[in-house]
A and B are shown apart, each in its own frame.
Chain A
Amino acid sequence: MRAPSSREAALGEALLAVEDVSLAFGGVQALTGVSFDIRKGEIRAIIGPNGAGKTSMLNVINGFYQPQSGRITFKGKERASMRPYAAAEGGIARTFQNLALFRGMTTLDNILAGRALKMRRGFFWQLIRYGPALREEVEHRQRVEEIIDFLEIAAIRKIPVGRLPYGLQKRVELGRALAMEPDLLLLDEPMAGMNLEEKEDMSRFILDVNQQYGTTIALIEHDMGVVMDLSDRVVVLDYGRKIADASPDDVKSDKNVIRAYLGEPHGVSV
């Protein structure tokens, strides 16, 4: 549990805000008029039954989908839609529900790939290993090693990611996202398919990232226990609409939310 008042004070202004976003493709209305914000430094959970549009929401935020209507305001700049490159450059990093790792590359290279945007020196200098380019490479490598240390994946540094067990792959993906030194970290079901011990480890990492680096985090999650423990505020989506937006405790007891997950109550108290 988190100490409420000091935590409240630590959270800042809205880092990201989506306003009245609607998204449709191929005849499916994925999102309808969704609005919410994410404050700087907070951990925001996005929950909802399957098909509620949670992943679509993340895709809109980091630019994979362009909404038909609505606005996205990120770091004070308002725009109608986001592009992947702009999102990445702006400091948004992402993990994926079904993993999008570079399967043929090692853990180290995968995380190093996250530094892509941070590498400044032109490729010609890199080709001949010129001084500053070399220094930069060393610096990137050090950052990556720090992340490897942080996520406790030193033992699998040189193993091609495709060969790792699922839980570790998820951790590597998190590492790659962290390598981007993001301001906003979007996690799409980071705990999916994990056992209790792995979930606890992942929760610890997420909390540490938030506390140590101050990274704002938006996460989609199904495990209610995790949502309760980790998040400051929760957004609930159902059939592409927002049906609740409050603290975890309030959301837990919200009638609309219960109905969305469980169907109409049959006179049984939950």
Chain B
Amino acid sequence: MPSTDLGLDTLPKLLIHNASAIGGRPAMRHKDLGIWQAWTWAQMLEEVRAFSIGLAERGLKRGDKFTIIGNNRPRLYWAMCAGQALGAVPVPVYADAVADEMAFVLAHAEVTLAVVQDQEQVDKIIAVSDRLPHLGQVIYDEPRGLKDYDHSRLIAFEDVQGLGRKKLASDPECLRLWQAGVAVGKGSDLSVILYTSGTTGRSKGVMLTYENTIVSARNANGFDRLDQNEEVIAYLPLAWVGDYIFSYVQSYVAGYCVNCPEAPDTVVQDRREIGTTYAFAPPRVYENILTLTTVRMADAGALKRKVFDFFIAVAARWGQKILDGEKVPLRARLLYGIGNLLVYGPLMNQFGLSRVRVAYTAGEAIGPEIFRFWRGIGLNLKQLYGQTEASVYVTAQPDGEIYSDTVGKASPDVEVKISDNGEVLYRSPGVFAGYYKDPDKTAEVLTPDGWVHTGDAGFFDPKSGQLKIIDRAKDVGRLSDGTVFAPKYIENKLKFYPNIREAVAVGASRDFVCAMINIDLTSVGSWAERNNVVYGSYQELAANPQVYDMIARHIDEVNRSLAEEEVMAGAQIRRFLILHKELDPDDGELTRTQKLRRGHIIDRYGPLVEAFYNGAATAEISTEVTFEDGHKGVIAARLAIRDMQAYPARTAKLERAA
């Protein structure tokens, strides 16, 4: 198995090693035109090398920054390694970034070359090219629609590879020079700059060295015993650190195969065809599948529903114990086995999860019922907690110690401590080298002795020894009477309901807490269909009084639950409204990874916040929105505000973990 001891301290070196040590094994697959095409490590090396030499021919040199923009396609991954082989640094950008965001990153990072997927990305670059003085040329993967474009700075991926292969064939020194170039690279070199979509302010470019990522990857592989036999499907954004680590670095280190789906909407089918063994998805995805299943079950015949409900109950009761390897009565095992045959097995198969050994989730809190459901039916779902600045891993849950409300123990080689004011800090070999061209921000976050401020408030749960995250540290505030107000904590409880897609809790320095709610269209839409509630648009459904009633019931339950926690009892929700439109990254309300941009939202929806606290029964709001194609419009609405009852505080029994 490769390790840095063998001097394989950069990704190109790992590639060359894999091509000779396990050259015949599949490295990457892509479903194209209906069939899975595969490349072995040896073949992938050839492709990457050809492109790399071609890039050199086109002028890319050590220290240059280049960008990758697109969906998960093999050539884009190859481009990353190809550039790194020359000592250049990739700066990937989210494929669905609006031209504006993209322009900021490319200009800030002084990118000189772009490798993009298709016409859509090319058009975006052209649209802002006047803001990108450094950008010299653009290389594209899919030629569709680009036939008549001006090709003075535009060139096809294959053509660049063609240049590389020609040079290799004609110049005997070429190969040796290239290999020498790779050998010059070392672990402490800058390997990638990943811009984090900041929840506040502009994005920052996190600089990670090879060592950061490779050591983290090696530890992660060891933690979950991932080896060259794993099958992983790459569907999360290329520009996100998670995908960079799972679908690229970890793959190179362990030697496992990464599969690229045919299209974003075929991911589930493709996952099923491949039989992936390791999965990662944000909690939302696991939620959505559950919602989808519940909705479908509601439409199924009575017999099916009864069978489903019965066996899901069996799973809820015994499933986790069986998964954790605990002793379980024979009768229960038998029932579970039947359930597996009839319900859990087919369900997991439907979503391509049958062979998954380890399924991680992270990024936000996951509802306990969802967690219980998945673990119950046999999916080894666990949580991890991490940041781009950590090369992902800060804490992770080891097998057998899984709880729904914690995020795990410190990952291998990672130290975690809690500061006096409750903030979580960590130190590890994966800690980033700094923010690109931003020493001030770097100093704010990275202490001189290598500890990183996560900006999250948390504590170690005495019972399990695992970390629990409460909220963003600076968001943990207080109400006017001093009660602790952790908005994320409240919002998470709300979002555990399938009907509630997103929630924003407001109340810092105020007298009481209020909430703005986004309903989930799938779940509420299906309820509407079954109850003959007519609606013509999301806005109409969101304004429906019966929907309000339903949401009010959920909020009431949340209030009851908050009342049981001494610290949180004073933060119950007193008023709420349902927003007329979904919060959207394109409008700057969410980050690209679906996290709330709290400050921005409170600004934008100022009139609503005012209405909350001046006792009004309705509130009017008029917001500017950005449509998918970039053009802007205005949406206006009048929203109803409901009052809720608060419950007196009382202490609850300590909840048994599981």
Contacts and interface: CB of A to CB of B under 8 A. Distances in A.
Query: CB atoms of A and B under 8 A apart anywhere in the complex?
Result: yes
B108 to A, nearest CB: 32
Contact of A212 (B144, B262, B265): B144
B634 interface: no
Interface in B8-45: 32-35
Contacts of B262: 154-155
Interface stretch (A71-79, A145-153, A222-230, A241-249): A145-153
Given A145-B34, A146-B33, A149-B33, A154 B145 contact: no
B144 A148 contact: no
Which among A148, A149, A150, A152 has the greatest number of chain B C-beta atoms within 10 A?
A149
Interface string B31-67: 0111100000000000000000000000000000000
Given A145-B33, A149-B33, A208 B265 contact: no
A158 to B, nearest CB: 8
Contacts of A208: 144-145
B653 interface: no
Given A208-B144, A208-B145, A212-B147, A155 B33 contact: no
Contacts of A29: none
A142 B34 CA distance: 9
Given A146-B33, A148-B34, A149-B33, A154 B147 contact: no
A53 B266 CA distance: 41
Contact of B265 (A146, A155, A197, A211): A155
Given A154-B262, A154-B266, A155-B265, A142 B147 contact: no
B269 interface: yes
Given A146-B33, A149-B33, A154 B263 contact: yes
B144 A155 contact: no
Interface string A194-229: 000100100000001001100000000000000000
Interface residues of B, number: 15
Given A208-B144, A208-B145, A142 B265 contact: no
A157 B34 CA distance: 9
B144 A154 contact: no
B400 to A, nearest CB: 38
Contacts of B32: 149
B529 to A, nearest CB: 15
Given A145-B33, A145-B34, A155 B266 contact: yes
A152 B34 CA distance: 12
A171 B628 CA distance: 21
Which among A154, A208, A211 has the greatest number of chain B C-beta atoms within 10 A?
A154
A106 to B, nearest CB: 12
Contacts of A146: 33
Interface in B236-293: 262-263, 265-266, 269
B226 to A, nearest CB: 29
A152 B263 contact: yes
B47 to A, nearest CB: 21
B521 to A, nearest CB: 15
Contacts of B629: 200
Contacts of A211: 147-148
Q: How many of chain A's residues touch chain B, expressed as a range?
A: 10 to 19
A181 B265 CA distance: 27
A154 B267 CA distance: 11
Query: Which secondary structure dominates chain A's binding surface?
Result: helix
Contact of A155 (B145, B147, B148, B263): B263
B147 to A, nearest CB: 7
A148 B263 CA distance: 12
Interface in B145-203: 145, 147-148
B104 to A, nearest CB: 27
B145 A142 contact: no
Contacts of B265: 154-155
Contacts of B269: 155
A108 to B, nearest CB: 8
Interface in A121-149: 141-142, 145-146, 148-149
A155 B263 CA distance: 8
Contacts of A157: 34
Contact of A154 (B34, B148, B628): B34
Contacts of B34: 141, 145, 148, 154, 157
Nearest to B142: A149
A174 B490 CA distance: 50
Nearest to B268: A155
Nearest to B33: A145
B593 to A, nearest CB: 24
B625 to A, nearest CB: 15
A45 B148 CA distance: 25
Interface in B354-372: none
Contacts of A155: 262-263, 265-266, 269
B217 to A, nearest CB: 31
Interface in B120-149: 144-145, 147-148
Nearest to A143: B33
A157 B270 CA distance: 12
A152 B269 CA distance: 15
A208 B145 CA distance: 7
Contacts of A148: 33-34
A197 B628 CA distance: 10
Contacts of B628: 197
Nearest to A144: B34
A209 to B, nearest CB: 12
B509 to A, nearest CB: 42
A211 B629 CA distance: 22
A146 B142 CA distance: 13
A200 B631 CA distance: 14
A163 B263 CA distance: 21
Interface string B610-637: 0000000000000000001100000000
Contacts of B144: 150, 208, 212
Contacts of A150: 144
Contacts of B263: 152, 154-155
A157 B262 CA distance: 12
A146 B266 CA distance: 16
A112 to B, nearest CB: 12
Contacts of A141: 34
A256 B34 CA distance: 51
Nearest to A204: B145
Which among A142, A150, A152, A155 has the greatest number of chain B C-beta atoms within 10 A?
A155
Contact of A142 (B33, B148, B266): B33
B235 to A, nearest CB: 13
A154 B266 CA distance: 7
- 5 nearest A-B pairs in the assembled complex, by CB-CB distance: A145-B33, A155-B265, A155-B266, A145-B34, A154-B262
7 contacts: A146-B33, A149-B33, A154-B265, A155-B265, A157-B34, A197-B628, A212-B144
Interface of A: 141-142, 145-146, 148-150, 152, 154-155, 157, 197, 200, 208, 211-212
Interface of B: 32-35, 144-145, 147-148, 262-263, 265-266, 269, 628-629
Given A155-B263, A155-B265, A155-B266, 17 more contacts: A141-B34, A142-B33, A145-B33, A145-B35, A148-B34, A149-B33, A150-B144, A154-B34, A154-B262, A154-B263, A154-B265, A155-B262, A197-B628, A200-B629, A208-B144, A208-B145, A212-B147
